[in-house]
Chain A
């Protein structure tokens, strides 16, 4: 089954404790992206990648890092989480160009930072 898999789905952590949210897709998509969803703000893009070793900042990249060492994986790293990073996170992928193709989304990862 074609899908985007995110882990963990739920996580509660404390300020400053490094964490990684994994994202993996099995559709051979070039494009992958991370979004955060907050009430009333829709989805805001954190980082995106157009292919292996090609990543770029989205609209809200502060406090996050990403890497794209393999085509299928695009982990999101929070080096020192803060409470304002409490949010619902989605990973998505598509063929290029991203604007003309359908995004396939993961089920979401709900993160709480205390």
Chain B
């Protein structure tokens, strides 16, 4: 069964410093992995996704994540934080069970709240 752990419920960084949001997952098959962002009073928006192509995935707004199978991790990084990055971030995992399965359960992590200090 799949599961997702986001290791920090809250992260605070200064503007212009690097961002690291940690995500570990468990999966029985070949996982798809996503990061979604939720700005205050908004719906969720895709940041990036991994689906077994390149292990380093680039997303919007300068974010990227690296899939490390040996560590079962998919940490989200950004070299330099901006005030507009303050939001809730969700790591999401889904198993691709192969042909014949048209639905794959999508599991959300509990979220990490990112604060950016001026």
Residues of A within 8 A of B (CB): 4, 31, 33, 35, 40-45, 48, 50, 90, 92, 96-100, 102-103, 105-108
Chain A contacts for B102, CB-based, 8 A:
50, 96-97
Query: By CB atoms of chain A within 10 A, which of B32, B43, B108 has the most?
Result: B43
Q: How many chain B residues touch the partner (CB < 8 A)?
A: 26
- Chain B residue with minimal CB distance to A91? B43
- The complex places the Cα of A45 from the Cα of B104 at a distance, in Å, of 13
A42-B103 CB under 8 A given contacts A99-B94, A99-B96, A102-B46 = no
- Chain B residue with minimal CB distance to A49? B103
Chain B 28-55, CB-CB to A under 8 Å as 1, else 0, gives 0000101010000111111001010000
Chain A contacts for B104, CB-based, 8 A:
97-100
* A105 with B45: CB separation less than 8 A: yes
* A97 with B43: CB separation less than 8 A: no
Quick check: is B72 within 8 A (CB to CB) of the other chain?
A: no
Residues of B within 8 A of A (CB): 9, 32, 34, 36, 41-46, 49, 51, 90, 94-96, 101-106, 108-111
- The complex places the Cα of A69 from the Cα of B46 at a distance, in Å, of 28
Beyond the given A99-B104, A103-B44, please list 4 additional residue pairs across the A-B interface where CB-CB is below 8 A.
A92-B44, A98-B103, A98-B104, A107-B42
* B109 with A103: CB separation less than 8 A: no
- Chain A residue with minimal CB distance to B102? A96
14 A–B contacts, CB within 8 A, in A order: A4-B43, A43-B44, A44-B108, A90-B43, A92-B44, A96-B103, A98-B94, A99-B104, A99-B105, A100-B96, A103-B106, A105-B36, A105-B44, A108-B42
